[in-house]
Structure 1
Amino acid sequence: MLDWLIIGGGIHGTHAALRLTAQAGVAADRVRLLDPQPSLLARWTQCTGNVQMPFLRSPVVHHIGLSAFELFEFSRTPEGKRFAAFAPPYDRPAYALFQAHCHHLLTQHRLPELHIQSKAVGLHRMGERGWRVETPAGGLDARRVVLALGLSDQPAYPAWTAALASSGAPVRHVFDPNFRAAELGDWQQAVVFGGGISAAQLALALAARQPGTVTLLLPHPLRIHQFDSDPGWLGPKYMRAFEAERSLDRRRRMIREARHRGSVPKDVAQNLRLAAQRRELRLCEAQVLDAQPTDAHRIQLHLSPGDSLETDCLLLATGFDGRRPGGAWLDAAVATYELPIAPCGYPVVSRALRWARGLYVMGPLAELELGPTARNIAGARKAADRLAQVAERRRTGHQVTAA
């Protein structure tokens, strides 16, 4: 039986495994990461690679390493120096540097050896002993299970795309598991639909490839925010009031109001406007009333107030569906074991992120405890802090408060 089984090999799960094994004293052979992808961080790499981001939105201290300045220190090593580049403000690291650092950590700490390439299809309590996670290849038993499930398998599709999907029209979501931007062929007129940083970065990358053939279709005016929530949510400035709030409905409302959905940093907005001035891309702000395939290779978009666009390459950058991740197997466990959930369907957990005895959460599933940054890299670090404290106290025999 394992001591810890982490379901999810993305940023959150990988960072948790590193913290447990490299800092909290958990033996590596007692920890496993369950993820269906061929390698750890594969979906992160696919999604971020599809939008072709040059720099991360988050600052240099947000990464999957152990110490806050580890990424910066890596940038000064022979291995990292060739990727070393940072963007103001907050020294945001180049995407290539961030990825190189991740690869360095995976190799240095031999984390791929902890990876079990499979997926969870069931979750069963084994009395006081722990949990059994069912996979297509059989069960995995662990004293403690961490649900590090993200939203990457839940791309959000606008309602007006429903008819397009069944017609075989050339529409794809940039976060669809089957989409690879690197395999995208040439187009005559491409349309990127979305109002946030993913849509903006993708449109800029496509315009650099085929100038003058790309339209960024914005459903709202550009919303300029440096981060997707105020930095005050990383510490007591805003979290003190959040943690004092006992109503889970109001906590959900605070999270929703704190997030700057569909926003871009100032430098990305400037790059968009400059590209538009140079006629490398077109910026179009409009609502899509409906979309119809004109043939197997083209789509007509009818816009408000009366305009239209025709495209042979429609790419949706509309984020992720916010419903609770996990799907049917987790729904069944919630019902069977009466796991506590808020009216929004998300877990009600302790400060130690415990949902039930031996069952912990991080990422989106932890946001009613960790607040609006729970989904981000900063949220991964915050959650791993708490899980590492649980592991350390168990190892040393101390009582874990509210764990």
Structure 2
Amino acid sequence: MYEWVIIGGGIHGCTIANFLVKSGKSVIDDIRIIDPHSEPMARWKRNTNRIGMEYLRSPVVHHIDVHPLSLKQYSTSGDSKDFYGYYKRPQVELFNEHSDNVLRQIHIQKAWHQGTVVHVERSHEKWLVALQSEEVMQARNIVIAISVNEQPIKPEWANKRVYHIFDEAFPDFQQLKGPAVVIGGGITAAHTAIKLSTIFPGKTTMVKRHPFRVHLFDSDPGWLGPKNLNGFVKLKDYKKRRELIKEARHKGSITQELFHKLLRLQKKEELQIVDGEPVFLKNNTIGLKEGSKIEANTVILATGFQPARPNQPWIERLIMEQKLLCSTCGYPIVSESLEWCPHLFVSGPLAELEVGPIARNISGARHAAEKIIASL
């Protein structure tokens, strides 16, 4: 039996594993991380590489290691390109290299188990975690650290030949044909449109439903500490907590430098930017609610993810069997230590009614790890 089984090997799962080992609360041989991919943070690396993200939106102190200055100290080159702006937002490549180095330090591969969870149940004071491969793992504690990345928003008009940018089966960019249209106005849409405009200059269009929303971060920095969080956790009404989360998030926003980059591409006529709402796609024509039409051989959705709780069937069964508490929005009601019930912890979206608007981010992973470690 393992001390810890962590379901999900993305940034959240890896951060928690690292904190468990480096805090001395566990050893790597007592941990198993279950993830569908063959290596840690695989989806994160694939997605950021796919859209051509150069710098993170998060500052230098947000990463998967315990010490806040770990990433800054890892950058020994002195190259000013390692970080961007006042908050020293790191290059994605540097962030990934640092993460790999941190995970090598704790020998993460010893804990790694490629697989897909299909059932979790409580039996005789231990957890049984069943995999699609019919393997069953026993654990004293489990952490559910999964995201909503498998729940992309796809509007009704989008047919089967329209890809969401984060679809598993998304083709190589070089296989796409112009003219190309990106649907969305947020940071993912911006990166995707910029990348496509280098492949199809003058034949790339970005279609967005609202004016650009320019914000440095995707929520106010006050949510990183007691300034905003103290009042948030004092609220006993979880409906009000959900309202605060919705209000705090700068949904569909982009950073200042991306905004200016898009405008420069538009001025050079390498990118068209259109305000409108698509309502149909027929042959190679997108029709907008406003009446205009756009020709496209490639249509890519960058429309985000469903706000609902991660919809894994095994989670639904677990909630019913263990009578786990949920708010009216469907998300877990958990303790300060992020326990949904004894020895069952959550991180990421599932923890947001306790961690707040930052729960899904890298900073949210650190907050979750700190809360779990502090309770042990």
The equivalent of 1:400 in structure 2 is none
- The unaligned stretches of length 5 or more in structure 2 are none
The answer for the alignment partner of 2:36 in structure 1 is: 36
**Kept in 1: contact 2:157–2:279 (CA 8 A):** yes
Superposition pairs for residues 189-228 of structure 1, below 5 Å?
189-228=179-218
Q: Which residue of 1 aligns with 2:244?
A: 254
Residues of 2 paired with 1:11 and 1:262: CA distance?
Answer: 22
The number of equivalent residue pairs is 375
Please name the residue that 1:285 is paired with.
275
Identity rate, percent: 38
Q: Which of 323, 330, 355 is 1:370 aligned to?
A: 355
Question: Matched residues in 1 for 2:307 and 2:90: separation?
Answer: 28
Q: Deviations over 1:187-213 (max 9, x none)?
A: 220001111000001111111233111
Contact 1:76 1:84 in 2 (8 A): no
Counterpart contact for 2:280–2:288, Cα < 8 Å: yes
> Which residue number corresponds to residue 69 of structure 2?
69
Aligned to 1:160, the other structure's residue is in SS state coil
Q: Flag the 1:207–1:383 CA change in 2: closer, same or farther, 3 A.
A: same
Letter in 2 for 1:202: T
**1:338 has 2:338 as partner:** no
1:51-87 deviation line (CA, Å, top 9, x unaligned): 111111111111111211111111116xxx6795211
What 5-or-longer segments of structure 1 have no aligned partner? 392-403
Runs of 4+ off more than 3 Å:
81-84
* TM-score normalised by L of structure 2: 0.96
The SS at the match of 1:142 is strand
Query: Per-residue deviation at 1:159?
Result: 2.6
CA distance in 1, matches of 2:320, 2:67: 39
Residues 192, 316 of structure 1: 8 Å contact kept: yes
Aligned match of 2:229 in 217, 239, 243?
Answer: 239
8 Å CA contact 2:14, 2:40 repeated in 1: yes
What is the aligned partner in structure 2 of residue 351 from structure 1?
A: 336
Task: Supply the distance in 2 between the matched residues of 1:263 and 1:236 (Cα, whole angstroms).
Answer: 24
**Counterparts of 1:102 and 1:284 in 2: how far apart (Å)?**
38
| Equivalent position amino acid for 1:134 in 2 | A
Shift of 1:136: 2.1
Asked if 1 retains the 8 angstrom alpha-carbon contact of 2:178 and 2:200, the reply is no
Give the secondary-structure state (helix, strand or coil) at the position aligned to 1:121. strand
What CA distance in whole angstroms lies between the structure 2 residues aligned with 1:214 and 1:106?
A: 39
SS in 2 for 1:387: helix
Paired with 2:334 and 2:62, the residues of 1 have a C-alpha distance of: 24
Shift of 1:243: 0.8
Question: Which of the residues 136, 139, 157 maps onto 2:136?
Answer: 139
What TM-score, normalized by structure 1, do the two folds share? 0.90
**What is the aligned counterpart of 2:165 among 171, 174, 183?**
174
Q: Answer whether contact 1:7 1:145 (CA < 8 A) is retained.
A: yes
AA of the residue aligned to 2:324 = L
Q: Distance in 2 between matches of 1:183 and 1:225?
A: 28
Q: Over the residues paired in the alignment, what is the CA RMSD in angstroms?
A: 1.5
2:98 to 92, 98, 101: 101
